[in-house]
Amino acid sequence: MLLIDDTLFTGGNGPGGGPGFQTMGFHTMALSAGLPPFISVSVGIPGSQTMNNTNSTADVDCFSVSTATRWLGVRVTNDASAGGAVLQVDTAGSAIMTELAVYRYIGLSCLQSVPCMHANVMGCDTNSAGGSYSLVKFPAVPGGQYLVFADGLGGELGIINFNWQLGIPPILDITKSNCTLVFPAGTNVTLISGVTNGIPAPGYQWYFCGTPLPNATNSTLSFTPIHSSDAGCYSVVASNFAGVLTNQCCVIVDPAELRFQVDWEAFPPACNISGALLGGAVLQSATSLTPLISWQNVVTNLTTNCNFQYAAPMYDTNGYPIPQCFYQTRRP
């Protein structure tokens, strides 16, 4: 049975002229008849209820609204699966623009106390969800009871949809993630996000050095095969309505490939050398590739680093070109 009513409070002004509650009406009715049962909300099972606020006479107190409010009550399941859950309530699909408020229900006496209601507000929203409906989302307590109010924005009357769902944000299990490893070039590789437990099932997006990879929207990312040019910083974002999780990955491919980019804005101009290197790898340079090549150690990469960088000057401080250099890395 759903807790629904259109006469919880009569619209009135509280202290200071703001919106408030009158102490007659619902409280008297509730004491004599008792509250109807709250609807039970379980993880992963969405619900909805359609109402019409025409001729309603209630009011929401956390912002200025009209006097045509509809409301319902929900109770979060006591099941252990609801630990860490997020409750989302919205008015998507309503025929009118809406505003929405959610309160923690702690007892009948709180319903006739403006300070008590304000102290237990979980959120208010005035049709801000994409400009088409209202949405309130908050961490829910297993067994918690909540009162949900919706109204027509600016006094509009018509059909209001209440939609609710209880979800679990994505969780990272680092023991199931293999995305920071060393791979030999030419082998088939599948990176695993390590994301578990999200309800509803999260969506995924993989990134390479901050740029989204096209069509990389699964919990895994495959290379068939992997190349030295694939080495670098990867991340995967898993998200559902309950939360967003990012797992950062460092992919090292052997042999390493160096990248370079000229920085003409530097003084003197420099060639920026970068790569994904293991700790102990040595950057070397040579002025000629004719035998016998004389490689000289330039710098040692101390720790595993997906963003190793070295700035090689192209001119001296007097503006004279520095002889060309060739670079390679030596395995640790």
pLDDT of 24 reads: 33
Q: Looking at domain 171-254, which of 2.60.40.10, 3.30.1490.100, 3.40.1160.10, 1.20.58.340 is its CATH number? A: 2.60.40.10
Q: Taking every pair of C-alpha atoms in the chain, what is the biggest distance, in angstroms?
A: 100
**Inter-residue contact 212 to 283 (CB < 8 Å):** no
Contact predicate 9/25, CB 8 Å? yes
- Name the amino acid, one letter, at 27: H
Q: What pLDDT is stored for residue 58 in this prediction?
A: 55
Mean pLDDT by 10 residues, the chain (332 residues): 37 32 38 64 95 71 56 92 95 91 89 84 85 92 93 86 96 87 93 93 96 97 96 96 95 93 87 94 92 92 93 86 90 81
Peptide bond into 268 cis (omega under 30): yes
Domain 3-167 has CATH 2.40.50.1020: no
Predicted pLDDT of residue 159: 93
Contact between 199 and 86 (Cβ < 8 Å): no
Q: What's the per-residue H, E or C state across the chain? A: CCEEECCCCCCEECHHHCEECCCCCHHHHHHHHCCCCCEEECECCCEEEEEECCCCCCCCCCCCCCCCCEEEEEEECCCHHHCCCEEEEECCCCCCCEEEEEEECCCHHHHHCHHHHHHCEEEEECCCECCCECEEEEECCCCCEEEEEEEEHHHCCCEEEEEEEEEECCEECHHHCCCCCEEECCCCEEEECCEECCECCCEEEEEECCEECCCCCCCEEEECCCCHHHCEEEEEEEEECCEEEEEEEEEEEECCCCEEEEECCCCCCEEEEEEEECCCCEEEEECCCCCCCCCEEEEECCCCEEEEEEEEECECCCCCECCCCEEEEECC
Report the alpha-carbon angle 114-119-123, nearest 5.
Answer: 100
Per-residue pLDDT at 275: 95
CB 241 within 8 A of CB 137: yes
Phi, psi of 242 (to 5 degrees): -85, -20
